[in-house]
Structure 1
Amino acid sequence: MRLLALLALGCVQACAAFAIGEQMRLVVQEATGIFGGIDVGLGSVARAPLGKNRTLNDIIRDVSEESDLLDIRYVKLDPEQPKRSTKVHVNALAYVKEHIDSATANIKVKYGFITLLNRNYDLCKELQTNLNKTCPVDAGPIEVSVDVDIPGFIPPGWFHLDATAWRDSDEKQLGHILADVRF
Protein backbone atom coordinates (compact mmCIF):
# COMPACT_ATOMS: atom_id res chain seq x y z
CA MET A 1 0.00 0.00 0.00
CA ARG A 2 2.93 2.26 0.66
CA LEU A 3 3.82 1.75 -2.96
CA LEU A 4 0.27 2.67 -3.87
CA ALA A 5 0.49 5.82 -1.82
CA LEU A 6 3.83 6.68 -3.31
CA LEU A 7 2.51 6.05 -6.79
CA ALA A 8 -0.60 8.11 -6.14
CA LEU A 9 1.43 10.94 -4.67
CA GLY A 10 3.86 10.68 -7.50
CA CYS A 11 1.15 11.13 -10.07
CA VAL A 12 0.07 14.35 -8.48
CA GLN A 13 3.53 15.66 -7.59
CA ALA A 14 5.11 14.69 -10.90
CA CYS A 15 2.67 16.95 -12.68
CA ALA A 16 4.25 19.80 -10.79
CA ALA A 17 7.76 18.96 -11.98
CA PHE A 18 7.93 21.37 -14.92
CA ALA A 19 9.58 24.76 -14.80
CA ILE A 20 12.42 26.49 -16.61
CA GLY A 21 16.06 26.36 -15.53
CA GLU A 22 16.59 26.56 -11.77
CA GLN A 23 12.84 26.44 -11.02
CA MET A 24 12.59 23.05 -12.76
CA ARG A 25 15.47 21.65 -10.71
CA LEU A 26 13.88 22.87 -7.48
CA VAL A 27 10.46 21.48 -8.36
CA VAL A 28 11.92 18.09 -9.26
CA GLN A 29 13.80 18.03 -5.95
CA GLU A 30 10.55 18.82 -4.13
CA ALA A 31 8.61 16.20 -6.09
CA THR A 32 11.24 13.58 -5.35
CA GLY A 33 10.61 14.06 -1.69
CA ILE A 34 7.09 12.77 -2.11
CA PHE A 35 7.08 10.91 -5.34
CA GLY A 36 10.61 11.16 -6.52
CA GLY A 37 10.54 7.80 -8.25
CA ILE A 38 7.82 8.79 -10.63
CA ASP A 39 8.90 9.56 -14.13
CA VAL A 40 6.26 11.23 -16.19
CA GLY A 41 7.01 9.25 -19.29
CA LEU A 42 4.39 6.55 -18.96
CA GLY A 43 6.75 3.76 -19.81
CA SER A 44 5.66 1.38 -22.49
CA VAL A 45 2.20 2.26 -23.73
CA ALA A 46 2.25 -0.86 -25.92
CA ARG A 47 2.46 -2.89 -22.72
CA ALA A 48 -0.77 -1.53 -21.24
CA PRO A 49 -3.23 -3.88 -22.99
CA LEU A 50 -1.33 -6.89 -21.63
CA GLY A 51 -2.06 -5.88 -18.03
CA LYS A 52 -5.17 -4.94 -16.15
CA ASN A 53 -5.60 -1.66 -18.05
CA ARG A 54 -8.16 -0.53 -15.51
CA THR A 55 -9.24 3.07 -14.92
CA LEU A 56 -8.86 4.08 -11.27
CA ASN A 57 -10.17 7.64 -11.71
CA ASP A 58 -10.28 10.41 -14.31
CA ILE A 59 -6.50 10.64 -14.60
CA ILE A 60 -4.94 7.38 -13.32
CA ARG A 61 -4.91 3.95 -14.98
CA ASP A 62 -3.65 0.71 -13.44
CA VAL A 63 -1.74 -1.15 -16.14
CA SER A 64 -0.23 -3.68 -13.75
CA GLU A 65 0.04 -7.34 -14.63
CA GLU A 66 -2.33 -9.77 -12.93
CA SER A 67 0.70 -11.45 -11.34
CA ASP A 68 2.02 -8.21 -9.78
CA LEU A 69 2.45 -8.14 -6.01
CA LEU A 70 0.09 -5.21 -5.49
CA ASP A 71 -3.62 -5.23 -6.31
CA ILE A 72 -4.66 -1.58 -6.41
CA ARG A 73 -8.30 -1.36 -5.34
CA TYR A 74 -8.75 2.41 -5.72
CA VAL A 75 -7.03 5.79 -5.85
CA LYS A 76 -9.28 8.75 -5.08
CA LEU A 77 -8.27 12.37 -5.62
CA ASP A 78 -10.08 15.34 -4.09
CA PRO A 79 -10.50 17.38 -6.17
CA GLU A 80 -10.47 14.76 -8.91
CA GLN A 81 -8.93 17.21 -11.41
CA PRO A 82 -5.87 18.83 -9.73
CA LYS A 83 -5.43 22.57 -10.29
CA ARG A 84 -2.56 25.00 -9.79
CA SER A 85 -2.04 26.42 -6.30
CA THR A 86 -4.32 23.89 -4.64
CA LYS A 87 -4.03 21.02 -2.21
CA VAL A 88 -5.05 17.57 -3.45
CA HIS A 89 -6.12 14.88 -1.01
CA VAL A 90 -5.09 11.39 -2.13
CA ASN A 91 -6.74 8.31 -0.64
CA ALA A 92 -5.75 4.88 -1.91
CA LEU A 93 -6.33 1.24 -1.00
CA ALA A 94 -4.39 -1.77 -2.21
CA TYR A 95 -3.85 -5.38 -1.27
CA VAL A 96 -0.27 -6.61 -0.93
CA LYS A 97 -0.09 -10.24 -2.11
CA GLU A 98 3.35 -11.14 -0.69
CA HIS A 99 5.81 -9.88 1.93
CA ILE A 100 8.02 -7.01 0.69
CA ASP A 101 11.31 -6.24 2.47
CA SER A 102 12.35 -3.38 0.20
CA ALA A 103 11.24 -1.92 -3.11
CA THR A 104 12.22 0.56 -5.80
CA ALA A 105 10.06 2.69 -8.08
CA ASN A 106 10.90 4.27 -11.41
CA ILE A 107 9.04 7.49 -12.06
CA LYS A 108 8.88 9.15 -15.45
CA VAL A 109 7.16 12.48 -16.04
CA LYS A 110 6.72 14.11 -19.42
CA TYR A 111 5.41 17.47 -20.50
CA GLY A 112 4.36 16.82 -24.06
CA PHE A 113 7.38 15.09 -25.58
CA ILE A 114 9.83 16.54 -23.07
CA THR A 115 10.96 14.18 -20.31
CA LEU A 116 11.11 16.15 -17.07
CA LEU A 117 11.91 13.29 -14.75
CA ASN A 118 13.19 9.73 -15.13
CA ARG A 119 14.49 8.48 -11.83
CA ASN A 120 14.53 5.49 -9.47
CA TYR A 121 13.49 5.91 -5.83
CA ASP A 122 13.90 3.78 -2.74
CA LEU A 123 10.24 3.26 -1.77
CA CYS A 124 11.00 2.38 1.84
CA LYS A 125 12.98 5.59 2.30
CA GLU A 126 10.28 7.67 0.59
CA LEU A 127 7.56 6.06 2.69
CA GLN A 128 9.43 6.75 5.91
CA THR A 129 10.20 10.35 4.96
CA ASN A 130 6.83 11.31 3.52
CA LEU A 131 4.23 8.98 5.01
CA ASN A 132 5.85 7.95 8.30
CA LYS A 133 5.55 4.28 7.33
CA THR A 134 8.28 1.65 7.34
CA CYS A 135 9.35 -1.50 5.54
CA PRO A 136 8.94 -4.43 5.51
CA VAL A 137 5.36 -4.62 4.31
CA ASP A 138 3.41 -7.79 5.04
CA ALA A 139 0.69 -9.29 2.87
CA GLY A 140 -2.73 -7.75 3.38
CA PRO A 141 -4.66 -4.53 2.78
CA ILE A 142 -2.97 -1.15 3.05
CA GLU A 143 -4.70 2.23 2.98
CA VAL A 144 -2.96 5.54 2.40
CA SER A 145 -4.27 9.05 2.93
CA VAL A 146 -2.12 12.10 2.18
CA ASP A 147 -2.37 15.74 1.09
CA VAL A 148 -0.21 17.11 -1.73
CA ASP A 149 0.33 20.79 -2.57
CA ILE A 150 0.27 21.64 -6.28
CA PRO A 151 2.54 24.62 -7.11
CA GLY A 152 1.06 27.67 -8.83
CA PHE A 153 3.69 28.09 -11.55
CA ILE A 154 2.92 24.93 -13.55
CA PRO A 155 2.61 25.79 -17.26
CA PRO A 156 -0.58 24.92 -19.15
CA GLY A 157 -0.58 21.64 -21.01
CA TRP A 158 -0.58 17.86 -20.59
CA PHE A 159 1.67 16.04 -18.16
CA HIS A 160 2.12 12.28 -18.46
CA LEU A 161 3.24 10.06 -15.59
CA ASP A 162 4.54 6.49 -15.76
CA ALA A 163 5.30 4.81 -12.43
CA THR A 164 6.55 1.24 -12.07
CA ALA A 165 7.68 -0.40 -8.84
CA TRP A 166 9.37 -3.69 -8.04
CA ARG A 167 10.55 -5.73 -5.05
CA ASP A 168 14.32 -5.44 -4.71
CA SER A 169 15.06 -9.04 -3.70
CA ASP A 170 13.77 -10.66 -6.90
CA GLU A 171 12.75 -7.67 -9.08
CA LYS A 172 9.16 -8.93 -9.17
CA GLN A 173 6.91 -6.07 -10.23
CA LEU A 174 4.68 -4.56 -7.56
CA GLY A 175 2.56 -2.47 -9.89
CA HIS A 176 2.45 -0.06 -12.81
CA ILE A 177 0.29 3.04 -13.17
CA LEU A 178 -0.09 5.69 -15.83
CA ALA A 179 -1.59 9.15 -15.39
CA ASP A 180 -2.42 12.09 -17.63
CA VAL A 181 -3.12 15.48 -16.10
CA ARG A 182 -3.91 18.72 -17.87
CA PHE A 183 -3.20 22.06 -16.24
Structure 2
Amino acid sequence: MRRRTTLLAAGMVAVVVLVLALWPVYVRPQREEPAPADAILVLGGAHDGREALGLRLAREGYAPRVLISNPYEDSPLINRICHGGYSFEVVCFDPSPRTTRGEGRYLADQARVHGWDRVIVVTFTPHISRARYVLGKCWDGELLFVDTRPDLSLPRWAYDYLYQSASYVKAAFEGCGQ
Protein backbone atom coordinates (compact mmCIF):
# COMPACT_ATOMS: atom_id res chain seq x y z
CA MET A 1 0.00 0.00 0.00
CA ARG A 2 2.79 2.40 0.92
CA ARG A 3 4.60 1.72 -2.34
CA ARG A 4 1.41 2.44 -4.34
CA THR A 5 0.90 5.72 -2.46
CA THR A 6 4.51 6.74 -3.13
CA LEU A 7 4.18 5.93 -6.84
CA LEU A 8 0.90 7.84 -7.06
CA ALA A 9 2.42 10.88 -5.34
CA ALA A 10 5.48 10.74 -7.61
CA GLY A 11 3.24 10.51 -10.65
CA MET A 12 1.20 13.51 -9.53
CA VAL A 13 4.36 15.54 -8.91
CA ALA A 14 5.65 14.57 -12.39
CA VAL A 15 2.40 15.69 -14.00
CA VAL A 16 2.48 19.03 -12.15
CA VAL A 17 6.13 19.60 -13.15
CA LEU A 18 5.35 18.71 -16.77
CA VAL A 19 2.34 21.02 -16.91
CA LEU A 20 4.34 23.89 -15.42
CA ALA A 21 7.33 23.27 -17.68
CA LEU A 22 5.15 23.26 -20.80
CA TRP A 23 2.95 26.18 -19.71
CA PRO A 24 4.95 28.76 -21.71
CA VAL A 25 4.93 26.45 -24.75
CA TYR A 26 1.21 25.73 -24.95
CA VAL A 27 -0.65 28.23 -22.77
CA ARG A 28 1.52 31.36 -23.05
CA PRO A 29 3.49 30.94 -26.30
CA GLN A 30 5.33 33.79 -27.98
CA ARG A 31 2.90 35.86 -30.04
CA GLU A 32 3.53 38.88 -32.20
CA GLU A 33 1.47 41.93 -32.98
CA PRO A 34 0.25 41.96 -36.57
CA ALA A 35 2.38 44.11 -38.89
CA PRO A 36 2.30 44.69 -42.64
CA ALA A 37 3.11 41.41 -44.36
CA ASP A 38 3.13 39.77 -47.76
CA ALA A 39 0.42 37.27 -46.82
CA ILE A 40 -1.69 35.88 -44.00
CA LEU A 41 -1.61 32.09 -43.58
CA VAL A 42 -4.56 30.55 -41.73
CA LEU A 43 -3.63 27.07 -40.57
CA GLY A 44 -6.22 24.30 -40.71
CA GLY A 45 -7.88 22.94 -37.62
CA ALA A 46 -10.99 23.52 -35.61
CA HIS A 47 -13.15 26.31 -36.93
CA ASP A 48 -12.49 28.36 -33.81
CA GLY A 49 -12.49 31.82 -35.31
CA ARG A 50 -9.08 31.64 -36.96
CA GLU A 51 -10.56 32.02 -40.45
CA ALA A 52 -12.49 35.14 -39.38
CA LEU A 53 -9.36 36.56 -37.73
CA GLY A 54 -7.29 36.03 -40.90
CA LEU A 55 -9.94 37.72 -43.04
CA ARG A 56 -10.29 40.59 -40.56
CA LEU A 57 -6.52 41.21 -40.60
CA ALA A 58 -6.62 41.38 -44.42
CA ARG A 59 -9.60 43.78 -44.32
CA GLU A 60 -7.59 45.94 -41.91
CA GLY A 61 -4.82 46.11 -44.52
CA TYR A 62 -2.12 43.92 -42.97
CA ALA A 63 -1.66 41.87 -46.16
CA PRO A 64 -3.08 41.79 -49.69
CA ARG A 65 -3.79 38.05 -49.60
CA VAL A 66 -4.99 35.31 -47.25
CA LEU A 67 -3.95 31.70 -47.67
CA ILE A 68 -6.57 29.37 -46.18
CA SER A 69 -5.47 25.82 -45.50
CA ASN A 70 -8.33 23.58 -46.53
CA PRO A 71 -7.55 19.96 -45.57
CA TYR A 72 -11.26 19.27 -45.03
CA GLU A 73 -13.36 16.96 -47.15
CA ASP A 74 -16.40 19.18 -46.83
CA SER A 75 -16.66 22.35 -44.79
CA PRO A 76 -19.46 24.82 -45.52
CA LEU A 77 -17.48 27.57 -43.74
CA ILE A 78 -14.33 27.03 -45.81
CA ASN A 79 -16.34 26.65 -49.02
CA ARG A 80 -18.08 29.97 -48.32
CA ILE A 81 -14.75 31.68 -47.61
CA CYS A 82 -13.08 30.23 -50.69
CA HIS A 83 -15.87 31.41 -52.97
CA GLY A 84 -16.58 34.78 -51.35
CA GLY A 85 -15.94 38.11 -53.01
CA TYR A 86 -13.25 40.01 -51.13
CA SER A 87 -11.31 43.17 -51.84
CA PHE A 88 -8.13 41.13 -51.26
CA GLU A 89 -6.95 37.82 -52.66
CA VAL A 90 -8.08 34.61 -50.94
CA VAL A 91 -6.25 31.44 -51.90
CA CYS A 92 -7.56 28.13 -50.58
CA PHE A 93 -5.23 25.14 -50.74
CA ASP A 94 -5.20 21.50 -49.69
CA PRO A 95 -1.83 20.91 -48.00
CA SER A 96 0.17 17.81 -48.81
CA PRO A 97 0.39 16.11 -46.41
CA ARG A 98 -2.68 17.42 -44.62
CA THR A 99 -0.61 18.57 -41.65
CA THR A 100 1.31 21.60 -40.45
CA ARG A 101 4.28 20.27 -42.44
CA GLY A 102 2.17 20.34 -45.63
CA GLU A 103 1.12 23.89 -44.81
CA GLY A 104 4.78 24.80 -44.32
CA ARG A 105 5.68 23.31 -47.70
CA TYR A 106 2.94 25.30 -49.39
CA LEU A 107 4.05 28.50 -47.64
CA ALA A 108 7.67 27.95 -48.66
CA ASP A 109 6.69 27.32 -52.29
CA GLN A 110 4.50 30.42 -52.47
CA ALA A 111 7.06 32.60 -50.69
CA ARG A 112 9.77 31.48 -53.10
CA VAL A 113 7.60 32.10 -56.19
CA HIS A 114 6.37 35.52 -55.01
CA GLY A 115 9.44 36.74 -53.12
CA TRP A 116 7.75 37.08 -49.72
CA ASP A 117 9.67 38.15 -46.63
CA ARG A 118 7.03 38.27 -43.87
CA VAL A 119 3.87 36.25 -43.26
CA ILE A 120 1.29 36.50 -40.49
CA VAL A 121 0.28 33.02 -39.30
CA VAL A 122 -3.09 32.47 -37.64
CA THR A 123 -3.77 29.41 -35.51
CA PHE A 124 -4.96 28.66 -31.97
CA THR A 125 -2.94 29.09 -28.81
CA PRO A 126 -1.69 25.54 -28.06
CA HIS A 127 -0.49 25.12 -31.66
CA ILE A 128 1.63 28.28 -31.94
CA SER A 129 4.97 26.94 -30.68
CA ARG A 130 4.87 23.73 -32.71
CA ALA A 131 3.65 25.57 -35.81
CA ARG A 132 6.52 28.04 -35.42
CA TYR A 133 8.95 25.12 -35.21
CA VAL A 134 7.52 23.24 -38.21
CA LEU A 135 7.01 26.28 -40.48
CA GLY A 136 10.49 27.49 -39.55
CA LYS A 137 11.91 24.24 -40.89
CA CYS A 138 10.23 24.95 -44.23
CA TRP A 139 10.78 28.68 -44.64
CA ASP A 140 13.32 31.07 -43.16
CA GLY A 141 11.28 34.24 -43.65
CA GLU A 142 9.73 36.22 -40.81
CA LEU A 143 6.69 34.60 -39.20
CA LEU A 144 4.33 36.67 -37.04
CA PHE A 145 2.00 34.44 -35.01
CA VAL A 146 -1.43 35.59 -33.89
CA ASP A 147 -4.13 33.42 -32.39
CA THR A 148 -7.77 33.17 -31.57
CA ARG A 149 -7.16 32.41 -27.86
CA PRO A 150 -10.10 30.06 -27.52
CA ASP A 151 -11.67 29.29 -24.17
CA LEU A 152 -10.69 25.64 -23.76
CA SER A 153 -11.96 23.23 -21.12
CA LEU A 154 -9.52 21.46 -18.80
CA PRO A 155 -9.93 18.13 -20.66
CA ARG A 156 -9.26 19.93 -23.96
CA TRP A 157 -6.12 21.56 -22.54
CA ALA A 158 -4.95 18.12 -21.35
CA TYR A 159 -5.61 16.68 -24.81
CA ASP A 160 -3.72 19.53 -26.49
CA TYR A 161 -0.76 19.14 -24.13
CA LEU A 162 -0.52 15.47 -25.12
CA TYR A 163 -1.28 15.94 -28.82
CA GLN A 164 1.10 18.87 -29.34
CA SER A 165 3.85 17.14 -27.35
CA ALA A 166 3.59 13.94 -29.40
CA SER A 167 3.50 15.99 -32.60
CA TYR A 168 6.61 17.91 -31.50
CA VAL A 169 8.47 14.60 -31.12
CA LYS A 170 7.31 13.52 -34.57
CA ALA A 171 8.34 16.89 -36.07
CA ALA A 172 11.81 16.58 -34.55
CA PHE A 173 12.42 13.58 -36.80
CA GLU A 174 10.90 15.09 -39.93
CA GLY A 175 12.29 17.69 -42.23
CA CYS A 176 10.10 19.80 -44.41
CA GLY A 177 10.79 18.09 -47.73
CA GLN A 178 9.12 15.11 -49.30
When normalised by structure 2's length, the TM-score is: 0.24
Structure with greater contact order relative to length (CA < 8 Å, sep ≥ 6)? 1
The answer to which structure has the higher helix fraction is: 2
The answer to which structure has the higher strand fraction is: 1
When normalised by structure 1's length, the TM-score is: 0.24
